[in-house]
Amino acid sequence: MNEKIKETVDFIKNQIKILPDIGLILGSGLGFLAEKIENSTEISYKDIPNFPYSTVPGHEGKLVFGNLSGKNVVVLKGRFHLYEGWNPETIKFVIYTLRELGVERLLITNAAGGINRDFEPGDVVLIKDIINFQFRNPLRGSNDEYFGPRFPDMSSVVDFEWYEKVKKEFPNLKEGVYMAVLGPSYETPAEIRAFKRLGADLVGMSTVPEIIAAKHCGIKTLSFSCVTNMAAGILDTPLSHKEVVEVANRVKDTFSKIILKTLEVL
């Protein structure tokens, strides 16, 4: 195992009482879910050796350990984006750290722009597949067989057993394909038209590197998008990060209900 990962894991283990089984990554404006954790222990990213830190408004930058829906969890209250200047390998480092802490499943959330006209701001969408339009892969470089194979299979990017349990609880939950772009600029109307032709229902600037790294090291994943705005050209309105956070806050009760039930069905 990478020595830096070992140093990071050892530091975290010395700060917590219970190791997590499930990890949650919370997107822009969605950090409120961490407030529901019982018996929580918080660790600032900046206090953890070798760990990256968040620079985006709406991402507080903390690991929160505790109990949620009867499960031992760790919540990443704030994620890491390539547009911040982080390398994809940095995201891989974070996911591998979660695995070494005991995480077997990862629940990923994001704020996304809606491309599919059947969506509207405030919808929570279950991600069924991904398109990597960031043109960067966290697995690039030498492979560590300790964590996973050189060429991991990506024919299924979700844990379909978990997926079907959630669909049974929420039969009207919308589903879609999530496309990740590099950012930080929002997309142009022409780009959104192209993405639609490629089969994307949602667009955002995260999640895909996390899914790839988790798939590589054997962590089962499930991902949700909160549609916080319609993508450029779908509606004749300007886009802003402020709007993203405001919509996420408006739907937090619905979003919390879905996420908590998603943990309960395991």
pLDDT by residue, tens only, the chain of 266 residues: 589 999 999 999 999 988 999 999 987 666 677 788 999 999 999 999 999 987 665 556 889 999 999 999 999 988 899 998 999 999 999 999 999 999 999 999 998 999 999 998 889 999 999 999 999 999 999 999 999 999 999 999 999 999 999 999 999 999 999 999 999 998 999 999 999 999 999 999 999 999 999 999 999 999 999 898 877 656 566 656 666 667 666 777 888 899 999 999 98
Instruction: Identify the H or E element spanning 6.
Output: helix 3-13
> Closest Cα to residue 20, out of 47, 40, 48, 44?
40
Neighbours of 153 (CB within 10 A): 9
Domain housing 132: 3-264
Q: In the annotation, is 83 catalytic?
A: yes
- In this structure, what token pair is assigned to residue 131? 């398109």
Torsion-angle region of 147 (φ positive above 0: left; ψ -120 to 50: alpha; else: beta): alpha
Q: How far apart are CA 235 and CA 254, in angstroms?
A: 24
Q: In the annotation, is 216 catalytic?
A: no
- In this structure, what token pair is assigned to residue 119? 């969506």
Active-site entry in 40, 53, 60, 83: 83
At 242 the pLDDT is 66
Q: In the annotation, is 264 catalytic?
A: no
Q: In the annotation, is 229 catalytic?
A: yes
Kindly report the pTM of this predicted structure.
0.92
CATH assignment at residue 176:
3.40.50.1580
- In this structure, what token pair is assigned to residue 251? 């739907």
At 232 the pLDDT is 62
Active-site entry in 54, 110, 206, 223: 206
